């Protein structure tokens, strides 16, 4: 079964044929699209790979160089992914006893503290 390429919903209805390709209407986001549209330059796998690279801490410009995807498009994919994720997380039911749990995750994080110099030592010999 096909799914909406915008919101990944499975609530679709056929909505005519355009240039010999079946057009679908999504009942959730009310957008229309075609399966196998020639205008789709990047596959879903590429989009997921780019978002995963961003989540792993690779910079947007580095992703642009590595994957050949323009950075405004990368930012658009990240925003769209965050909207989908936010919508899915809002539907998750949390048990009452689990609300008291607080988790703090520090992954490869460190801090560097140094005494702040009160006088400028620029140009002075020690």
Q: Kindly state the percentage of the chain with pLDDT values over 90.
A: 40
| 66 three-class SS | helix
Q: Which residue has the higher pLDDT, 108 or 78?
A: 78
Domain ranges across the chain? 1-40, 41-89
Does 64 score more than 60 pLDDT?
Answer: yes
Does the model's pTM come out above 0.85?
no
Q: Which of 37, 1, 4 is nearest to 19 (CA)?
A: 37
Residue with tokens 């209407």: 25
Q: In angstroms, rounded to a whole number, what is the distance separating the alpha carbons of residues 21 and 32? A: 12
DSSP 90: H
Residue pair 24/14 in contact (Cβ under 8 Å)? The answer is yes
């Amino acid at each position: 079964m096909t799914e909406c390429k915008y919101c990944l919903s499975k609530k679709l209805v056929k909505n005519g044929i355009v240039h010999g390709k079946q057009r679908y209407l999504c009942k959730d986001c009310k957008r229309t699209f075609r399966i196998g549209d020639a205008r789709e330059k990047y596959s879903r796998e590429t989009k997921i790979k780019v978002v995963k690279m961003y989540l792993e801490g690779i910079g947007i410009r580095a992703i642009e160089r590595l994957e050949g995807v323009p950075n405004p498009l990368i930012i658009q994919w990240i925003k769209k992914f965050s909207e989908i994720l936010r919508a899915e997380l809002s539907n998750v039911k949390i048990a009452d006893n689990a609300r008291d749990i607080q988790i703090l995750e520090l992954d490869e994080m460190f801090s560097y503290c140094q005494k702040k110099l009160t006088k400028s030592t620029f140009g002075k010999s020690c």
